[in-house]
């Protein structure tokens, strides 16, 4: 049996994603302002989807309250910027602070299971919203804006936000990739597949879940801060809205829950759907909800799961791949093709 971590596809992915990254870095030189703004939004969606997927897809934790971290990320950015810290430094510091705050929260919330965890997080998001409203700087639901960004002129600002968004997204995805391939990540995927079995082979589910929870909180806070930079105004109601979590759920469910590629695919689809249908207002939201219900019932692995099973493609190797397949009667058959080729090759060269 041959076990490997990567294949031809994944090498191709590595090269093409590097190329894509370089190309995206070049975009500000020729793209129009509208394109830049829309792409920034896309980056934020990808971050949100990937972070929710980390929690739900790999951690088995369905949170309905990720808007807590989204809102807190934006709020902390405003608070720090108000204290005189440059906006983009404030953004990073705010996300780190929210990540730090999520540690005690995780200690508490990770004792809950399934729906209790989900709604419990929702209650926490509501608490966060109400507490932020009490801050005089925010002026209740009226909100405030990130004034310190005005030191840059509008064109420079747009390009800066775009580049910061791109780097944050790439950084978080690479971070997630290595997190998933680490020992903790493999443990997490084992927990996702069967918590009791994982427990019985000595995996400490709580510690691993804590790390994923903190990582997701940090990434979501970063997305919140980026959204603030992009939209520049902060109204608690908008940022702490459960709609954000609804979007994350839609993206991940449609793309493929528990699949690294799935979250990205889902974010892309959501972005396209939003561009076309957001104008239809309420029907658009009805459609999102209905598609989410449909996917969770009839397409549990999402579109990427479908592609993966049909075509056997694995672009981003976060697990181990066994070369071979299970026959209809349940026995395992190795893919002898590679082995034979290898042997013939070896014979030709005159080695045993």
Partner 1 sequence: MINTLVQAILLGGYYALIACGLAFMFQVMRIINLAHGSLAILSAYLVWMITDALSLSPFVSVLIILPIMALIGWLLQRVILERATQGGELLPVLTTFGLSIVIDNLLFQQFGANTRSLASAVGDLSWESYEVFGLWIGKLPVIILGTAIVVIGGLDLMLRFTSLGRQIRATAFDPDTAGLVGIDARKIAALSAAIAMMTVAISGTALGLRGTFDAYAGAPQLLFAFEATIIGGAGSLWGVLIGGMILAIAQSVGALIHPQGFLLGGHFIFLAFLFARIYLTREFFSLHHWFGKGTKKVVKHEN
Contact status: 64 vs partner 1 (CB under 8 A)? yes
Query: For residues 168 and 140, what is the distance between their CA atoms, to the nearest angstrom?
Result: 30
Q: Pick the closer one to partner 1 by CB: 283 or 342.
A: 283
Contact status: 122 vs partner 1 (CB under 8 A)? yes
Minimum distance from residue 250 beta carbon to partner 1 (Å): 8
DSSP 351: -
Q: Pick the closer one to partner 1 by CB: 133 or 145.
A: 133
Q: What are phi and psi of 101, to 5 degrees?
A: -65, -30
* Piece of the chain touching partner 1 by CB under 8 A; list 42-50, 174-182, 225-233, 294-302: 294-302
Contact status: 285 vs partner 1 (CB under 8 A)? yes
Contact status: 62 vs partner 1 (CB under 8 A)? yes
Could you tell me which residues come within 8 angstroms of residue 230 by beta carbon, excluding any fewer than 6 positions away?
A: 37, 40, 41, 44, 161, 165
Q: Give the one residue of 31, 93, 186, 242 binding partner 1; rule: CB under 8 A.
A: 242
DSSP 330: S
Contact status: 297 vs partner 1 (CB under 8 A)? yes
Minimum distance from residue 306 beta carbon to partner 1 (Å): 16
Site for partner 1 in 129-168 (CB under 8 A): 130-131, 133-134
Q: What is the 3-state secondary structure (H, E, C) of 96-142?
A: HHHHHHHHHHHHHHCCCCHHHHHHHHHHHHHHHHHHHHHCHHHCHHH
Q: Give the one residue of 288, 307, 314, 318 binding partner 1; rule: CB under 8 A.
A: 288
Q: Give the one residue of 10, 39, 60, 169 binding partner 1; rule: CB under 8 A.
A: 60
Query: For residues 272 and 308, what is the distance between their CA atoms, to the nearest angstrom?
Result: 22
Among 70, 83, 86, smallest CA distance to 137 is for 83
Minimum distance from residue 5 beta carbon to partner 1 (Å): 28
Site for partner 1 in 30-59 (CB under 8 A): 56
Contact status: 306 vs partner 1 (CB under 8 A)? no
Contact status: 188 vs partner 1 (CB under 8 A)? no
Could you tell me which residues come within 8 angstroms of residue 239 by beta carbon, excluding any fewer than 6 positions away?
A: 67, 70, 71, 74, 75, 224, 227, 228
Could you tell me which residues come within 8 angstroms of residue 114 by beta carbon, excluding any fewer than 6 positions away?
A: 62
CA distances from 218 to 11, 57, 227 (A): 29, 17, 14
Contact status: 273 vs partner 1 (CB under 8 A)? no
Site for partner 1 in 87-116 (CB under 8 A): 108, 111-116
Interface residues with partner 1 (CB under 8 A) are 56, 60, 62, 64, 108, 111-116, 118-120, 122-124, 126-127, 130-131, 133-134, 242, 246, 249, 253, 282-283, 285-286, 288-290, 292-293, 296-297, 300
């Amino acid at each position: 049996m041959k076990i490997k971590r990567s294949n031809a596809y994944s090498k191709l992915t590595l090269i093409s994603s590097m190329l894509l990254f370089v190309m995206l870095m070049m975009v500000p030189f020729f793209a129009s302002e509208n394109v830049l703004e829309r792409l920034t939004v896309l980056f934020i969606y990808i971050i949100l989807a990937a972070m929710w997927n980390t929690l739900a897809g790999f951690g088995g934790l369905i949170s309905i309250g990720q808007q807590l971290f989204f809102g807190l990320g934006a709020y902390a950015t405003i608070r720090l910027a108000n204290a005189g810290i440059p906006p983009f430094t404030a953004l990073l510091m705010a996300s780190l602070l929210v990540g730090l705050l999520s540690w005690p929260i995780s200690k508490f919330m990770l004792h809950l299971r399934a729906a209790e965890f989900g709604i419990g997080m929702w209650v926490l998001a509501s608490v966060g919203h109400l507490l932020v409203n009490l801050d005089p700087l925010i002026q209740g639901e009226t909100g405030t804006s990130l004034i310190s960004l005005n030191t840059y002129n509008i064109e420079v600002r747009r390009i800066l936000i775009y580049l910061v968004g791109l780097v944050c997204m790439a950084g978080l995805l690479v971070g997630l990739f290595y997190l998933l391939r680490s020992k903790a990540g493999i443990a997490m995927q084992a927990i996702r597949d069967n918590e009791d079995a994982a427990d019985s082979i000595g995996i400490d589910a709580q510690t691993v879940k804590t790390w994923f929870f903190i990582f997701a909180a940090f990434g979501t806070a970063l997305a919140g801060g980026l959204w603030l930079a992009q939209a520049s105004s902060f109204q608690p109601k908008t940022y702490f809205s459960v709609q954000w979590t609804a979007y994350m759920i839609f993206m991940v469910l449609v793309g493929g829950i528990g699949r690294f590629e799935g979250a990205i695919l889902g974010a892309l689809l959501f972005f396209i759907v939003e561009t076309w249908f957001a104008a239809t207002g309420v029907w658009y939201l009805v459609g999102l909800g209905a598609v989410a219900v449909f996917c969770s019932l009839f397409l549990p692995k999402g579109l990427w799961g479908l592609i993966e099973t049909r075509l056997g493609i694995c672009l981003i190797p976060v697990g181990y791949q066994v070369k071979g397949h299970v026959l209809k009667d349940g026995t395992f058959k190795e893919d002898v093709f590679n082995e034979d080729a290898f042997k013939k090759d070896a014979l030709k060269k005159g080695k045993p």
